[in-house]
């Protein structure tokens, strides 16, 4: 379970980038909704402690329980769907309440799936390019994906698909298979989206369809579904180079005027853009990129396939969620409702990411050493 590690192999650079990004999140949340700042700060402290502890556990030993992780994941998602323990909000049942504890299993599902497939691919790595292995992997990923999609949580279900693709690619799947899948999936997705936007279909809910239509034609939905994103763009643009200042009291502030609801979650980037300007926005983007690239660097040097999959999966998760969240805030993507990693308010997401990064740090402690 434990191994002796060299402290000079510890990835302090990754830790510093994560803590810097989380600190920006605490500040931004304190401005968006001051009552939540202390909760987020407590989450950062608890998450950092969990990350530190996990980083010294031998990930190879933990991955021995990969099937337990998988079934715990399915069990938690099942409780949300089929029991009275699930909590409903805005038409979606995504939260689980047990003994006063409220968390979102779809957030932990991302990390558990990365860990599960790390060991699954490691164990059957010589068969990764066989039809049987790929089919089995797709089925295993499909079960939690369906449960997340049915909550309904379209945005998280899309992230699960992308992360699954990342881990399969990192695990060593053939380039020919990747090219073949892309050749089929890209036009297939385009057709599905086209069909989903038709009035009489059951692929998307009316709300999900409306979000896509509001992105295509924002002026028609300027006072309804596109309202948040249009105001987000206005807030970011108004920050210009240096921003309006932290917790400013300008009456022209989009945030102060409450033109963005739930600014502490999905649209936290708008708060950063308005108060810290382009400099603050680009700092967040650089930190996100730095964390993702450092994870890729760890993946390239990992001692085994499982370590490669863990580091690449976590790097991909941070990259795709960061891109989508910022894309929504800047109106280059439809509104999806994904949190900005380590920045948005949400203790389940925050703790899950910190714990996932703990495994990346342990992978880094065991990288192949060059003589």
- List all residues 6 or more positions away from 122 whose beta carbon is below 8 Å from its beta carbon: 63, 171, 304, 305, 306, 309
Number of domains in the chain: 1
The residue-averaged pLDDT of 188-194 equals: 69
325: its two tokens: 């969240």
Q: In what order do the strands lie in the sheet with 101-103?
A: 86-89, 92-98, 101-103
**In the block, residue with structure tokens 């997401």:** 349
105: its two tokens: 């299993």
Q: Are 359 and 314 in contact (CB under 8 A)?
A: yes
The residue-averaged pLDDT of 227-236 equals: 86
Q: Is the pLDDT of residue 23 over 90?
A: yes
For the beta carbon of residue 193, count every other beta carbon within 10 angstroms. Answer: 12
Q: Where is 102: in which H helix or E strand? A: strand 101-103
The model's pLDDT over 144-174, given as tens digits with 9 standing for 90+, comes to: 999 998 877 778 888 999 999 999 999 988 8
266 confidence band (pLDDT: 50, 70, 90): confident
Shortest CA distance to 60 belongs to which of 1, 124, 4, 113? 1
Give me the phi and psi of 289, to 5 degrees please.
-65, -40
Q: Which residues constitute the domain of residue 239?
A: 7-365
Q: What is the spatial distance between Cα 360 and Cα 55, in angstroms, rounded to a whole number?
A: 7
Question: What pLDDT was estimated at residue 316?
Answer: 95
Would 165 be classed as within a structural domain? yes
3-state secondary structure of 2: strand
3-state secondary structure of 320: helix
Cα end-to-end span (Å), the chain: 26
335 confidence band (pLDDT: 50, 70, 90): confident
Would 2 be classed as within a structural domain? no
Would 270 be classed as within a structural domain? yes
> Residues 276, 278, 281, CA angle at the centre, nearest 5°?
70
| Mean residue pLDDT across the chain | 86
3-state secondary structure of 107: helix
Q: Are 116 and 69 in contact (CB under 8 A)?
A: yes
The model's pLDDT over 65-121, given as tens digits with 9 standing for 90+, comes to: 999 999 999 998 988 877 655 555 555 567 777 666 678 888 999 999 999 999 999
208: its two tokens: 């999900």
Shortest CA distance to 312 belongs to which of 291, 326, 327? 291
Q: Are 107 and 163 in contact (CB under 8 A)?
A: no
Q: Are 241 and 280 in contact (CB under 8 A)?
A: no
3-state secondary structure of 96: strand
Would 220 be classed as within a structural domain? yes
Would 24 be classed as within a structural domain? yes
The residue-averaged pLDDT of 246-261 equals: 73
Q: Are 76 and 96 in contact (CB under 8 A)?
A: yes
Would 332 be classed as within a structural domain? yes
3-state secondary structure of 48: helix
Question: What pLDDT was estimated at residue 96?
Answer: 76
CA dihedral 287, 114, 145, 170 (to 10 degrees): 80
> Residues 178, 182, 188, CA angle at the centre, nearest 5°?
145
- The pTM score is 0.89
Would 370 be classed as within a structural domain? no
Would 1 be classed as within a structural domain? no
30: its two tokens: 């304190």
């Amino acid at each position: 379970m434990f191994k002796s590690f060299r402290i000079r192999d510890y990835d302090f650079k990754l830790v510093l980038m994560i803590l810097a990004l989380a600190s920006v999140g605490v500040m931004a949340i304190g401005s968006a909704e001051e009552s939540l700042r202390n909760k987020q700060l407590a989450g950062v402290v608890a998450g950092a402690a969990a990350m530190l502890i996990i980083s010294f556990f031998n990930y190879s030993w933990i991955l021995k329980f990969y099937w337990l992780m998988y079934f715990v994941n399915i069990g938690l998602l099942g409780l949300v769907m089929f029991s009275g323990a699930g909590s409903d909000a805005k038409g979606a049942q995504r939260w689980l309440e047990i003994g006063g504890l409220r968390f979102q299993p779809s957030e932990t599902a991302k990390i558990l799936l990365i860990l599960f497939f790390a060991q699954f691919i490691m164990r059957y790595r010589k068969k990764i390019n066989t039809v049987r292995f790929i089919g089995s992997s797709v089925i295993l990923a499909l079960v939690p994906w369906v449960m997340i999609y049915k909550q309904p949580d379209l945005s998280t279900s899309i992230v699960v698909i992308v992360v699954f693709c990342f881990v399969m690619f990192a695990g060593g799947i053939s380039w020919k298979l990747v090219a073949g899948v892309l050749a089929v999936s890209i036009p297939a997705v385009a057709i599905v989206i086209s069909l989903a936007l038709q009035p009489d279909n059951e692929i998307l809910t009316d709300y999900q369809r409306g979000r896509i239509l509001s992105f295509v034609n924002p002026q028609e939905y300027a006072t309804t579904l596109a309202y948040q994103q249009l105001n987000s763009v206005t807030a970011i643009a108004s920050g210009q180079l240096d921003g309006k200042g932290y917790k400013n009291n300008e009456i022209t502030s989009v945030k102060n005027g409450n033109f963005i609801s739930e600014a502490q979650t999905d649209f936290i980037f708008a708060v950063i853009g308005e108060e810290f300007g382009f400099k603050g926005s680009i700092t967040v983007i650089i930190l996100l990129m730095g964390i993702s690239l450092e994870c890729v660097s760890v993946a390239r040097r990992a001692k085994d396939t499982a370590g490669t999959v863990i580091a690449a999966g976590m790097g991909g998760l941070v990259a795709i969620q960061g891109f989508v969240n910022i894309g929504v805030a800047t109106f280059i993507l439809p509104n999806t409702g994904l949190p900005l990693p380590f920045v948005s308010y949400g203790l389940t997401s925050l703790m899950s990411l910190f714990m996932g990064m703990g495994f990346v740090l342990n992978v880094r402690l065991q990288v192949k050493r060059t003589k």
